[in-house]
Structure formats: structure tokens, C-alpha cells
């Protein structure tokens, strides 16, 4: 998985907050019990003094074994007395201990050195939250895809395209193939891209989605302002990068170079990319040149979107 350091840090901070909150709740319960039963506090202080008493006995030259036996006996008596008081109050020793959200790892995130499911869930939730936060429109899902908008001669074709996108997202792996979504505006390329983004993120993979001009602007800012944002590294190493509306960004040598760096770099690392565009082959060649276009057309699986502008159809409704 390609979770960023920030995602891990936020997930671990959540676990730390859970532990702190559990400790605070336990302390509040303990204070209420001691207020009602002062003897509980006295017993706790006596139990805490058992170990120092053993050490003092040994240092004083007393029979260590006898001293340990006596203190152990006294310790057990105190614990029985504490249990009796708590039972009378309708409580147990567990009342005095913090109650973690996750009983398996006690909110540490790991069990026997392996990552706990609770940490996996937090990473997934945080990655999804960041994905939503970074986008200019809400995530969609495949249940919202209405193939009825693809009417007439293109219905079967577009139904197959939607099915392909859904299967691709459901079977996503870190080395899945890349997709090129092509067709006129308003045919659902962005909608399906967002559905794939949500499905892949739900599987626990890191996803970066954005209009091409916004992602390229982030790279340009890093290049020329030297702001240390790590934009290029993040875009290169995300499990899935979705470049929406390629061809609408401002042209120029930097844009062409940056796009080539992204697409070629991700290909070399076997990281999948989804590119959507309204441009035909000639427009792509004019704007980006043969080196980049040959990779898009030769290495990406092309899905052609056909039909009538869905936005206009919805507006007419």
C-alpha cells in the first residue's frame, strides 16, 4: 500500500487520543469510587508500597524469603479486601483500568508485531477523508451509475464500459494496468473516475484524484517556489493516480515535461494511472508530442465513451 507518512501519523494520533481518553475516563471513575469508598485509595497506596518494603527488608539483612512471603500474604489480603469493596459497589477491578476501543490491541495498533484491523480501518478512513478533501467534487460509487442515460445505439457499448470500470476497480492491485478514458464532454468519464477512486480507496489503497491542471500546478509550484511539498513524489508513488480532463490545462514546455515525468515514471514503477480526456489523437499529438502520446495509446487500455451529453439530458429532466 502507498499510504503517506501523514496518513500513518494521523491514524497513530487517533490511537494515541483513544488511549488518553480511556485513561482519563478510568481516572474519573476511580476518583468517584474513592470519594464514595476512601478505603480503596488506602488499599492502592498500601499495594504500591509492597515492592519497596521487600527491597528495604533485603537491604536491612532480613530473611528475604520470609519477608517476601509475608508481604505476598499481605498483598493478597489487600486485593481480596479491594475486590470485596468493589463487589459491594457493583464494580470490579476492571472498573479501575482504562477500557480501550479495541480489545485486541488495546489501541496500540499492533498485536504480536502485526498490524491490527483497527489501525487498518483508521488508515483507510483517513486516506478516504484526505481524498474527499482534495477533490473539487464529491466521490461517487457504481450504484449511482445510471446506464439508462446511454440510450440508443451506444447503450450496449457503454454498459460494457461501465462493467469494465467496475470490474477493474473491484479487482484493483498495486500493479493493475492503466486506463485512458476518451470521449466528448458530458459522457460520464469524470463520474466513473470518481466511482473507481472511491472503490479503490475502500480497498485500502492510496488514491490521488484531480483535474490535470490542478495536479500540474502543484508540481510547478514545487519546482519553482521550492516549497518542499513533495508533490511530485506523492503523485509518482500513490497506488492510483487519476488525471482528469487532460488537455484542458495551460500548455507549455513545463506541462509536457511534467506529464511525461509522471506517466513514464509511474509506468516504470508499475503504478496504475487513469487519464481522462476529450482530445482526439491529433489534439493530443499537437499538445504533448509523440513520446507522451505513444505511451498513452500504447500502454494504457483505452475506453471510448459514446453517446449524448448526460448533463444536458439531466438538465432537460
Top-ranked range on mean pLDDT: pick from 1-10, 96-105, 211-220: 96-105
Rounded to whole angstroms, the Cα distance separating 22 from 98 reads 5
The closest of 145, 263, 142, 272 to 205, measured between CA atoms, is 272
Rounded to whole angstroms, the Cα distance separating 24 from 245 reads 50
Mean pLDDT of 23-46: 86
The average confidence (pLDDT) of the chain is 83
Residue 16 has pLDDT above 60, yes or no: yes
User: What is the strand order of the sheet 240-246 is part of?
Assistant: 207-211, 240-246, 273-277, 179-182, 301-304
The pLDDT, as a whole number, for residue 43 is: 84
The closest of 144, 39, 137, 143 to 88, measured between CA atoms, is 39
For residue range 66-88, list pLDDT tens digits in order: 767 777 788 888 888 888 888 88
The pLDDT, as a whole number, for residue 311 is: 60
DSSP label at residue 114: E
The alpha-carbon radius of gyration of the chain (Å, integer) is: 31
The pLDDT, as a whole number, for residue 283 is: 92
The pLDDT, as a whole number, for residue 246 is: 92
- Residue 111 pairs in a beta bridge with 114
The pLDDT, as a whole number, for residue 227 is: 46
For residue range 118-151, list pLDDT tens digits in order: 998 898 888 778 777 766 666 777 877 766 566 7
Reported as a pLDDT band with limits 50, 70 and 90, residue 317 is low
Residue 316 has pLDDT above 60, yes or no: no
Give the strand pairing for 301-304 and 179-182: parallel
For residue range 249-279, list pLDDT tens digits in order: 766 788 888 899 899 999 999 999 999 999 9
Q: What is the pTM of this model?
A: 0.66
Position with higher pLDDT, 309 vs 161: 161
The closest of 156, 192, 155 to 276, measured between CA atoms, is 192
Q: Which residues have C-beta within 8 Å of that of residue 24, sequence separation ≥ 6?
A: none
Domain boundaries, the chain: 5-111, 135-316
Residue 315 has pLDDT above 70, yes or no: no
The pLDDT, as a whole number, for residue 182 is: 95
Q: Distance of CA 117 to CAs 103, 105, 111, 124, 302, Å?
A: 11, 9, 9, 10, 37
Rounded to whole angstroms, the Cα distance separating 293 from 278 reads 14
- What's 135-316's CATH class? alpha beta
- Residue 210 pairs in a beta bridge with 243
Q: Are 80 and 47 in contact (CB under 8 A)?
A: no
Q: Are 221 and 231 in contact (CB under 8 A)?
A: yes
Total residue count of the chain as it appears in this document = 317
φ/ψ (deg, to 5) at 110: -140, 145
DSSP label at residue 49: T
Q: Are 294 and 264 in contact (CB under 8 A)?
A: no
Element (H, E) at 296: helix 290-299
The pLDDT, as a whole number, for residue 228 is: 46
Rounded to whole angstroms, the Cα distance separating 217 from 250 reads 10
Element (H, E) at 161: helix 155-170
Amino acid at each position: 500500500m502507498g499510504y503517506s507518512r501523514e496518513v500513518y501519523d494521523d491514524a497513530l494520533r487517533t490511537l494515541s487520543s483513544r488511549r488518553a481518553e480511556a485513561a482519563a475516563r478510568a481516572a474519573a471513575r476511580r476518583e468517584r469510587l474513592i470519594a464514595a469508598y476512601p478505603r480503596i485509595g488506602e488499599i492502592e497506596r498500601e499495594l504500591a508500597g509492597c515492592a519497596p518494603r521487600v527491597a528495604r527488608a533485603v537491604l536491612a539483612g532480613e530473611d528475604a524469603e520470609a519477608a517476601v512471603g509475608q508481604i505476598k500474604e499481605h498483598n493478597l489480603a489487600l486485593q481480596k479486601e479491594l475486590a470485596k469493596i468493589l463487589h459491594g459497589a457493583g464494580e470490579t477491578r476492571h472498573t479501575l483500568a482504562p477500557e480501550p476501543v479495541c480489545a485486541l490491541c488495546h489501541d496500540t495498533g499492533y498485536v504480536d508485531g502485526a498490524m491490527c484491523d483497527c489501525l487498518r480501518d483508521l488508515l483507510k478512513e483517513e486516506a478516504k477523508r484526505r481524498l474527499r478533501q482534495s477533490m473539487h467534487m464529491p466521490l461517487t460509487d457504481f450504484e449511482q451509475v445510471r446506464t439508462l442515460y446511454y440510450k440508443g445505439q451506444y447503450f450496449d457499448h457503454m454498459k460494457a464500459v461501465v462493467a469494465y470500470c467496475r470490474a477493474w476497480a473491484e479487482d484493483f492491485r498495486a500493479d493493475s494496468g492503466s486506463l485512458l478514458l476518451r470521449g466528448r464532454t458530458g459522457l460520464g468519464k469524470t463520474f466513473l473516475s470518481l466511482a473507481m477512486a472511491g472503490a479503490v480507496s475502500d480497498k485500502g489503497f492510496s488514491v490521488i484524484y484531480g483535474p490535470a491542471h490542478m495536479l500540474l500546478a502543484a508540481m510547478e509550484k514545487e519546482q519553482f517556489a521550492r516549497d518542499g511539498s513533495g508533490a511530485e513524489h506523492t503523485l509518482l508513488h500513490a497506488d492510483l493516480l487519476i488525471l482528469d480532463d487532460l488537455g484542458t490545462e495551460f500548455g507549455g514546455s513545463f506541462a509536457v515535461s511534467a506529464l511525461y515525468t509522471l506517466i513514464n515514471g509511474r509506468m516504470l514503477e508499475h503504478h496504475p494511472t487513469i487519464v481522462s480526456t476529450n482530445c482526439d489523437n491529433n489534439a493530443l499529438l499537437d499538445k504533448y508530442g509523440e513520446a507522451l502520446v505513444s505511451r498513452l495509446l500504447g500502454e494504457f487500455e483505452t475506453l471510448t465513451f459514446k453517446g449524448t451529453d448526460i448533463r444536458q439530458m439531466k438538465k432537460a429532466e
